[in-house]
């Protein structure tokens, strides 16, 4: 059909999160080594227009909401400045060894929300 399959967007969101964490000085491997993982507990996507094969997608991502043990990230996916998709993922902080819930690391709480 010439369009990107809807499930591909979830992988793009993960890649954007990992790059964002690296950009703000907290590479995911370093986060894991500190004993924390961020489990995806919810994902919501809204498709406005399809992304076609070979189009270049830009993903804007930011922290949008936080509680003591989870945070939400919001995303806008654009092609040539035109919004194609918006998305949200919620993540729970968990112990990377036991999987037990944890409070968010202080560096995330200090960031607060950063809506564009």
Q: How many domains does the chain have?
A: 1
Is residue 3, in this structure, part of any structural domain at all? no
Is residue 44, in this structure, part of any structural domain at all? yes
* Nearest by Cα to 86 from 76, 98, 74: 76
- The domain containing residue 90 runs over which residues? 8-111
pTM for the whole structure: 0.91
Is it the case that residue 25 has pLDDT exceeding 80? Answer: yes
Is residue 1, in this structure, part of any structural domain at all? no
The CATH number for 84's domain is 3.10.129.10
pLDDT at position 115 is: 59
* Cα–chain center distance at 29: 16
Is residue 33, in this structure, part of any structural domain at all? yes
Is residue 116, in this structure, part of any structural domain at all? no
Going by the DSSP 8-state scheme, the letter that residue 49 receives in this structure is: S
Confidence of residue 54 (pLDDT cuts 50, 70, 90): very high
Report the alpha-carbon distance of residue 15 to residue 105 in Å, rounded: 21
Report the alpha-carbon distance of residue 66 to residue 11 in Å, rounded: 23
Is residue 2, in this structure, part of any structural domain at all? no
């Amino acid at each position: 059909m010439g369009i990107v399959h809807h499930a591909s967007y979830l992988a793009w969101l993960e890649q954007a999160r990992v790059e964002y964490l690296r950009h703000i000085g907290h590479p995911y491997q370093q986060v894991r080594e500190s004993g924390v993982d961020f489990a995806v507990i919810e994902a919501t996507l809204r498709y406005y227009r399809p992304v076609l094969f070979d189009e270049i997608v830009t993903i804007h991502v930011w922290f949008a909401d936080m509680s003591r043990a989870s945070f939400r990230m919001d995303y806008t996916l654009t092609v040539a400045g035109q919004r194609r998709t918006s998305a949200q993922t919620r993540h729970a902080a968990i112990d990377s060894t036991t999987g037990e819930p944890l409070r968010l690391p202080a560096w995330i709480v200090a960031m607060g929300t950063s809506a564009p």
